Structure formats: structure tokens, C-alpha cells
Amino acid sequence: MLNYDGDSEKDDGEDGEDGEGEGEGEGRQANEEQNRQYDKVLVFEEEFVDGDDGIIKECMDLFEGYQSKSEDECFSDSELEPEQVRIAKLLKGISFKKMVDGDIKFEVGQTFANVQQMKELFKEYAIQEGVALIRVKNDLQRQTYKCKEAGCPWRAHGSCLLDEMTLYKAKKRALEGLAKDHAKAFAKLRRYAYMVNQSNPGSAVDISTQQPHPTFHRMFLSFEAQKLGFLEDCRPFIGVDGCHLKGPYEGVLLSAVALDTNNGLFPLAVCICDKETQSNWEWFLNNPKIHLKYPSDRNLTFMSDRQKEVIHALQQHFPFANRMYCARHIYANFRLTYKGDHSKKLFWIASRSSNVFDFKETIDEIGAINPAAKSWL
């Protein structure tokens, strides 16, 4: 099946539905007008087309009102998000090229420069194969060909593709809609907190706003079931970390997780804030300190990266807890200065050591290779 890219404007001079022989009754002016309307052709398999209304027509309906009105509109790839460029390239398909021996072979995914090239190639293809083709569709959005012989199932369909500008405008509007939904969601946070407390008694929900015009600042959330699960069945270990959010308003997600008896991750609490600052870390860690009510006579171990904001917050709220650092974060900094596969192998052997003797032995082996690396560790 064929599907070509172009604008979706209606043409008063489009061919009828009854189909004419290839090339019959077409004037030069009509060809020039159609060439200005079409861009590319993409080949699709026959089962993707359902009569006169194929899957491509449905796609075009979704983007109605976003057609590029001028072929002179252009923009560089740098003006688009990488994902937008990638989608546009995928929809372009594969440019048509004749075989080495000059034969014409149509395949799924081929594109053509314009509708005139498509028509000429079908004329040549009919001569090459010794068959008579009929064009049963010829408008500004579709071109459909079939074999003239009765009972022959061969059929090829061409329809407009979406250009990069169309995709860009459509996605831009979709993202704007999502941003509006996010803005409405922030206004519902107070009601969400109320419902959490009503349906999950004992849960902790804390929302902080900025003054004088109240705007969202940060939010803490931890359910009662998470608290009970940690106190009753989890190991005395908590890992804390942060990651950047990529939504319309960005921000940072701070999280605290524990380990259950099967070494599986057990979520404890989350916090949404604007930045990964010491103030936000202190506010976040103060909430589980109050919510968990962890027994003071039980040892507790925290694992984090080496960011000073996290370290200071832990020292303030959990001064007597044991602290350890994530090996992946340590190695990410270690390899910047001390490269090499052997150093990498020894580093991970040391990090996975289950006793002090094996750990020191591996660290000494690293020192024998590079004393500075041992001192750094």
C-alpha cells in the first residue's frame, strides 16, 4: 500500500470515484497544482487500508487544523525536542530508489518526492509488469491504484503524511494541555491530603507553601501501612536519594526506601520540592523522624550519596545513626580520576566484601597498583 505526505486541503479538480486509466484526462495545470499540494509517499500493506477510509485518514483527522500552510516554513532540528525530530523522521519512511538493474519494486515504507513522481513510477511499473492499472482514487489526500483485471486482489493506496511542522504544532498543543492539567492538580492537593488522612488514618501528609501569595513549595507523603511495615518487618536500613522530575513544572523527587527481609525495596516516604537544597533535605528528613517514631534503642543505618546537603541533614536529625555511602555514586566519582578495568574490578570486589579482612586486603591491592587511589578511597 502507498501513502504519501502532503497538505490536506480539498481540490475542486479532484478525480471521480469511478477510476480512469493511468494518465487519462489529466492536464498539465492539474498536475502542477497537485504537485504543490503533495510532499511524499509512504508504502503501507494492504490490510492497513479499510476501503476508502484508511488508517492514515484517521491519523489526519487527529491533526486537523495543524497543517503547515506554507512549504517555505522551515526550522532546524535544534528548535525541536529530540523526541519530536525522531518521530518526524520515522514517519518520513524510506525514500524510493530503483533497483540496480532499473526495475521498479514497491515495498512497505517507501516515500516519494511528490505525487507526480508516484504517477510516473506507476506508469513505468505497469509497462514493466505488463499489466493495466486503474486509479480509483485521486484527490489531495489519497491516491489508490488497482489492477484492471477482474478478480485481481492487487491494490495500492497513497495518503498524506504529516510533516515536521504539523507534528511540532500538535505536540506543542498537547503539552500545553498537560501543563494546564498539572496546574489544576496543584489546586487539589489540599483535598487530596484530607482524603488520605480520612481513608488512611495515621498517614503523614504535609504541604508547604510560599508566601505572601500562597504557591506550592514542597509536599511530604508517607502512608501508615509503610510505617508499620518498616517497623515490624524491615531491616534497620534506610536509603535516601533524589531525582529530577521532567514534567511541565520540573522539580525534584526526594525518596526514602528500606529493605525488607527478602532484600526487596520497601518505599517509606516521598517528597516533591523545587530543588535539592539542604533546607529541603532537612524538611524532608524531619518528617519521617516524627512519623516513624523509630525506637531510640535500635540502631539505624542510612545510605546516601556524598552530597553535603544530605550529610548535614542526616547529622542534624539522626546524629546517632550509622551512615554509609552508595557504592555507585562513589565509583562514578572514583573513575573520573582513576580509570582502568582492573581498578574497576577491585573497587567492586571491595564494595561487596562481607567482612573487614577481605575488604582491607582488596584495598591494599588497589594501593599496590596506585597509592593515590587507595588514599582517595
pLDDT of 20 > 80? The answer is no
pLDDT grade for 15, boundaries at 50, 70 and 90: very low
Look at residue 82 in the predicted model and tell me its pLDDT: 53
Look at residue 94 in the predicted model and tell me its pLDDT: 66
Domain co-membership, 343 together with 265: no
Domain co-membership, 18 together with 82: yes
CA distance 110 to 4: 9
The model scores a pTM over 0.85: no
Domain carrying residue 372: 327-377
Domain co-membership, 16 together with 115: yes
Domain co-membership, 192 together with 315: yes
Domain co-membership, 143 together with 230: no
Count up the domains in the chain and report the number.
Answer: 3
Domain co-membership, 135 together with 151: yes
Task: State which of 115, 142, 176 marks the end of a domain.
Answer: 176
pLDDT grade for 92, boundaries at 50, 70 and 90: low
pLDDT of 104 > 60? The answer is yes
pLDDT of 155 > 60? The answer is yes
Domain co-membership, 20 together with 141: yes
Q: Is residue 273 part of a domain?
A: yes
Domain co-membership, 221 together with 97: no
